[in-house]
Amino acid sequence: MIVNRLAQSITAFVLTAAIARTLGAEALGQYLLAYSYYFIFVGIASQGLKTLFTRELARDPQKTPVYLISGTWLQLIFSFFSYGALVIVVFLLPYSSKTSTICYIMGLTIIPFALSNITEAIFQAQEKMHLIAISTVPVYILRIIVMIWAMQLKYGIEYLGAILFFSETLILVIEWIFIIRLVKIEWQIDGNFVFNTIKSARTFFAIEGMAVITGRIQILILSLLGNEFLVGLFGGIAQLLQPFSIIANSITLAMFPRFSKAREEGQDKQRQITENIIEILLIMALPLFIGLLFFGRDLLIFLYNSSFAQANLALSLTAASLIFLPFIRSLSYLLVANGFEIINLREVLITTTLGSLGGVILVSQYQLLGAALMALLMTILGFSQYIYFTYTRLFSLNLWRIMRRPLLITLLMLPIFILLQKISLDFMFTLIIATCAYGLFVTYLGIRAFGGFRFLWLKLLRQ
């Protein structure tokens, strides 16, 4: 899962930088706006079924053939409705004809992507996530090469949307080649299954639908109260945090079947898994946050161009959300695994409603900084609710156990950051030195956690 998500993140990151450098911030804003609408409507159409199918098939794998065929048919219907809704919404909003056309073209990707979510749910439930990586990673690499080549030939953003559609269709075909080798297909649609699935998935659809809106609401508000240029700047900021978000999502998603199974082993086992995941994510998140405070402006200029330097303060504000995201990602899946998906629904409803109202005020007053403040506000709202419901419905967390190693690594990295800022090396050298230092600290503490060098050496000798 991490390989798949990292490949997705890296290629998206490269594409964002390439659009900004080749076509400019306004074109980047158009692409990200179109992608946001696609992401929202595909999330509404598919993510609820994917989460439900993963949980149920992890518990009862014998029903896989029914879930595959009937679930795919149901997903296809939802996809058509979702694309129609996207077209209507974009048509009614005051965007330029070019921006609207890009949204229509990229929106077609809803259909193949949503259908591939059914096959991926089966792979995840069977803990064969490597098949997802084999299906997607080569296509992601090929896609970014073709997109960059198209931009060099002076093709516009609308062609990038068409390439995205065809690449996701190719992924769907490859995943079906794998799935027919794993599942004995029964070519019939189970009407009772479809009805019961719609009934069971209502909460999941609402949760995932609101969640994807929450994740993109800043861009939507900024596009309506600002312009595509500001969307491009904010999108560039968001892309810098995307690698961590994808790693966090991958780890928690990969652990979701384990969460579901651990429910039968008792709360102590679930607490241990939860604390370990949050600690791992914080070991990545806290040093990254401090690093962006020191070198955020240099990173924006290095990756994009000098016009993005004005987004440095907004980047610092948005990066503060890294402190809370490990808790949000882990606790949300923990609650779903325990049958408390209604709590996740409440969280996204409250966070999206309050965040959107606050966002309209903040963005109208402060534009780009307002969008960054809105992102941070929504993250804090989500964190507060997940902590409260976990403590009241399940168990408390040992926060000192979770925080001590992440804080230690962050404190060790702090003098490295200060020194690198003082000596003002080329940014690439700065990045390499900081990354190597971080790697050494994490490796050392990891060895200490497993008993020290002597313990590992004796263990190797015994083997």
Residues 102 and 224 in one domain: no
| Together in a domain, 185 and 232 | no
pLDDT at 376: 92
Q: How confident is the model at residue 315 (pLDDT cuts 50, 70, 90)?
A: very high
DSSP 339-400: T-HHHHHHHHHHHHHHHHHHHHHHHHHHTHHHHHHHHHHHHHHHHHHHHHHHHHHT----HH
What pLDDT is stored for residue 336 in this prediction?
A: 82
151 plus 222 within the same structural domain: no
Indicate the range of 63-72, 77-86, 207-216, 382-391 predicted with least confidence: 207-216
276 found inside a domain: yes
Would residue 442 count as lying in a domain?
no
In this structure, are residues 223 and 78 in contact, taking their beta carbons and an 8 Å threshold?
no
- Local confidence band at 144 (pLDDT 50, 70, 90 cut-offs): very high
User: For residue 401, is it within any domain?
Assistant: yes
Q: Quick one: pLDDT band at residue 118, thresholds 50, 70, 90?
A: confident
The answer to whether residue 431 is domain-embedded is no
Same domain, 162 and 233: no
Residues 140 and 82 in one domain: yes
If one compares 265 and 401, the residue with the highest pLDDT of the two is 401
Residue 200 has a pLDDT of 65
Judged against a pLDDT cut of 80, whether residue 47 lies above it is answered with no
Same domain (yes/no): 82, 223: no
Containing structural domain, residue 119: 1-189
Same domain, 323 and 244: yes
Which of 35-44, 232-241, 257-266 shows the lowest per-residue confidence on average (mean pLDDT)? 257-266
Highest mean pLDDT among 17-31, 369-383, 449-463 belongs to 369-383
Q: Give the mean model confidence (pLDDT) for residues 383-406.
A: 91
Percent of the residues in the chain that have a pLDDT greater than 70, as a whole number = 91
pLDDT at position 459: 54
Give the whole-number percent of the chain exceeding pLDDT 90: 30
Question: At residue 3, does pLDDT exceed 80?
Answer: no
With a cut of 60, say whether residue 460 has pLDDT above it.
no
Average pLDDT over residues 94-117: 90
Residue 146's pLDDT band, with cuts at 50, 70 and 90, is very high
CB of 392 within 8 A of CB of 384?
no
307 and 371 belong to one structural domain: yes
**Structure-token match 């992890």, residue found:** 58
Residue 453 has pLDDT above 60, yes or no: no
Report CA-CA distances (Å) from 284 to 289, 423, 441, 449: 9, 25, 12, 17
| CA distance linking residue 147 with residue 7, whole number of Å | 15
The whole-angstrom separation of Cα 330 and Cα 350 is: 19
Average pLDDT over residues 359-381: 90
Answer yes or no: is pLDDT of 333 > 60: yes
Average pLDDT in the 159-174 region?
Answer: 93
Q: What is the pLDDT of residues 353-367, one digit of tens each?
A: 888 888 889 988 888
Residues 6+ apart with CB under 8 A from 460: none
Highest mean pLDDT among 210-224, 242-256, 317-331: 317-331
Nearest to 55 by CA among 256, 198, 255: 256
Domain annotation covers residue 383: yes
| 216 within some domain | yes
Contact 289, 330 (CB under 8 A): no
Q: If you count them, how many residues does the chain have? A: 463
313 versus 26: the higher-pLDDT residue is 313
Q: Mean pLDDT, to the nearest integer, of 447-455?
A: 61
Find the DSSP H helices in 60-190: 64-92, 97-107, 110-125, 130-152, 157-182
Q: Are residues 124 and 257 in the same domain?
A: no
Q: Which of 266, 315, 170, 235 is nearest to 24 (CA)?
A: 235
The residue with greater pLDDT, 376 or 120, is 376
Domain count, the chain: 2
Is residue 260 located within the same domain as residue 179? no
Mean pLDDT of the chain: 84
Q: Which of 227, 230, 215, 216 lies closest to 99 in space, CA to CA?
A: 227
Per-residue model confidence (pLDDT) at position 121: 82
Q: Is residue 196 part of a domain?
A: no
Tell me, yes or no, whether 199 lies in a domain: no
Q: What is the mean pLDDT of residues 308-322?
A: 92
- The more confidently predicted of residues 365 and 345 is 365
290, 316 Cβ separation under 8 angstroms: no
Does residue 183 sit in the same domain as residue 228? no
User: How far is it, in rounded angstroms, from Cα 306 to Cα 230?
Assistant: 15
Q: Looking at the predicted structure, is the pLDDT value of residue 303 above 60?
A: yes
- Mark whether 183 and 218 lie in a shared domain: no
In whole angstroms, what is the distance from residue 92 CA to residue 394 CA? 44
Per-residue pLDDT reduced to its tens digit, 50-96? 777 777 777 777 777 877 888 888 888 888 998 999 999 999 988 88
